[in-house]
Amino acid sequence: MRTTTPKYMKSILVLTLAFLGLWTELRADARPNIVWIIPDDMSANFSCYGETAIQTPHVDALARRGVKFTRAFVTAPVCSTCRSAFITGMYQTSIGAHHHRSGRGYQKIRLPKHIQLVPALFQKAGYHTSIAGWPGSKGRLGKTDYNFEWNPSVYDGADWADRKPGQPFFAQIQTPGGKLRGKNAEGWEKIAAAAEAKLGRSTPLEAVKLPPYYPDHPDIRRDWAAYLDSVRMTDVMVGEVIARLKREGVLENTLVIFMTDHGISHARGKQFLYDEGIHVPLVIAGPGVKAGAVRHDVVEHIDIAALSLAAAQIGVPDYMQARDILAKDYQPRAAAFSARDRCDETVDHLRSVRSTRYKYIRNFLPARPHLQPCAYKDAKAILQALRAWHTAGKLNATQQLLFQPTRPQEELYDLANDPHEINNLARDPKHAAMLKTMRGQLDQWMQKTGDHGRRPEPARMYDSDMALYLDKVKRKGDAAHLKTLQDNIAQMKRWAKEGK
């Protein structure tokens, strides 16, 4: 016998479903927005981190509203590998994305099918996803720089303004950061003029305090002053983002995460595992974050993936190596791990373990010099100044460390007594126990996380990337750069053949 539903019952059913749909939408709307602000090439040279040469009022204000991490470290000290890591919540060494700018040629890198990009997870949960520079170019996505193949559809656009009414958003603001200062006097003058126009004056040269491993060369001092101006201008950008969120009435329900992609681009910074290269600022403010908190435990930059998903009530995938460092039951890490592999044409293989006090670095290619040939870095005026003074015999013993023809296989530093990582304790009998402990931690991490760097990069992948790089330089018509790059590639291949 066929039954029918009375009309009034159908009406009640429709209204109930509509109510449930509205309730679900309202509940989703209550979830916090997530905003990442990530400048390039910048260490923790903000006044809230102890920098005295400049003032950074906007980042300082963000820190007062939330939590400041004093020991945050990237897992890779160069753009593409670092970004490949935090956008997946995975160590770049575990997903085969550990060589800088790899997978750009005809040889491609593809993620395992079960690994999803963080914006894709937000998108599936109903969030609007965007990525932009600041100030953004209308409709143009911001910096991604991932080493693997990925689908741009994981981003809904370049601005959260494009979202549906009331839709929560996950937005990334990628800013030039330390790149604002350029590589020579032309860039230094440009950022100084911008600082004068925006802030009334540029950073005075006499305010600069250089680390002891750099000589007080005029170009190095000018570059550092320009770098500090880039920090100040980045602080202005942070203030503009916060002002927009406040103006739109969403600041109180937005979790803001400020972190740089790695440390300052300098001889001992970017591309290397000393703290100048891997230590970054990390400030988080928003719903559920205690104001004015300071954390001194060791955290990794990939952790922003897990804590962001958790804040949005999205399940953190089991495969993800990132941890929700804001969770009430979070157990602090014993150490942070970092890795440096090939950067452009320059082949290298370094790993480090960083605890709250000690740093252990392993050089897998110890027969090579610290400052290997690298067209990108050698084009910078600061590297040219260093090499000139080295040739002229103007460097002291500490500064001369940069120019040793070989490297120790192991380095161990007591950062409480040696924050600049100058005195290698690896052969000191008094520190033999610590050396053994940290050596074991690294071996265990490499094994447990499936470090792809344990196997040399296939020649076809290197050649694929170099073909693309060479073609790019050729199209620019820079004959000197092209010759340098060709010579460097030949040098890398000679050293590899020699087992160096």
Q: CATH number, domain at 35?
A: 3.40.720.10
304-328 average pLDDT score: 98
pLDDT in tens, 232-244: 999 999 999 999 9
C-alpha closest to that of 105 among 472, 413, 404: 472
Confidence of residue 29 (pLDDT cuts 50, 70, 90): low
* Within-domain flag for 356: no
Helix (H) or strand (E) holding 398: helix 397-400
330-359 average pLDDT score: 98
* Within-domain flag for 372: no
C-alpha closest to that of 118 among 152, 144, 93, 154: 154
Give the 3-state secondary structure of residue 499: coil
C-alpha closest to that of 182 among 222, 213, 144: 222
Are 415 and 358 a contacting pair, CB within 8 Å?
A: yes
98-104 average pLDDT score: 94
What backbone torsions phi and psi does residue 168 show, to the nearest 5 degrees?
A: -70, 155
Are 376 and 267 a contacting pair, CB within 8 Å?
A: no
* Within-domain flag for 90: yes
* Within-domain flag for 132: yes
Q: Which residues contact 178 (CB under 8 A, 6 or more apart)?
A: 39, 40, 41, 42, 227, 230, 231, 264, 265
Sign of the Cα torsion 136, 137, 141, 143 reads: negative
Q: Is the pLDDT of residue 385 over 70?
A: yes
pLDDT given at position 136: 75
pLDDT in tens, 275-310: 999 999 999 999 999 999 999 999 999 999 999 999
Confidence of residue 207 (pLDDT cuts 50, 70, 90): very high
Distance of CA 409 to the CA centre of its chain: 26
pLDDT in tens, 134-144: 877 778 999 99
Between 250 and 16, the more confident residue is 250
| Domains in the chain, number | 1
34-43 average pLDDT score: 98
pLDDT given at position 14: 42
* Within-domain flag for 406: no
Confidence of residue 15 (pLDDT cuts 50, 70, 90): very low
Pairing of strands 350-354, 336-340: antiparallel
pLDDT given at position 72: 98
Q: Is the pLDDT of residue 418 over 60?
A: yes
pLDDT given at position 139: 82
* Within-domain flag for 465: yes
pLDDT in tens, 425-447: 999 999 999 999 999 999 999 99
Q: What is the pTM of this model?
A: 0.93
pLDDT given at position 8: 52
Distance of CA 73 to the CA centre of its chain: 9
Beta-strand runs (E) in 297-398: 299-300, 336-340, 350-354, 358-363
* Within-domain flag for 438: no
Find the domain containing 218 and state its range: 30-337+449-498
Place of tokens 């911001």: 142
Distance from C-alpha of 257 to C-alpha of 12, rounded to nearest angstrom: 45
Mean pLDDT for the chain? Answer: 94
Residue type, 150: W
* Within-domain flag for 442: no
Angle between helices 479-498 and 459-476 (to 10 degrees): 160
pLDDT given at position 452: 97
Confidence of residue 1 (pLDDT cuts 50, 70, 90): very low
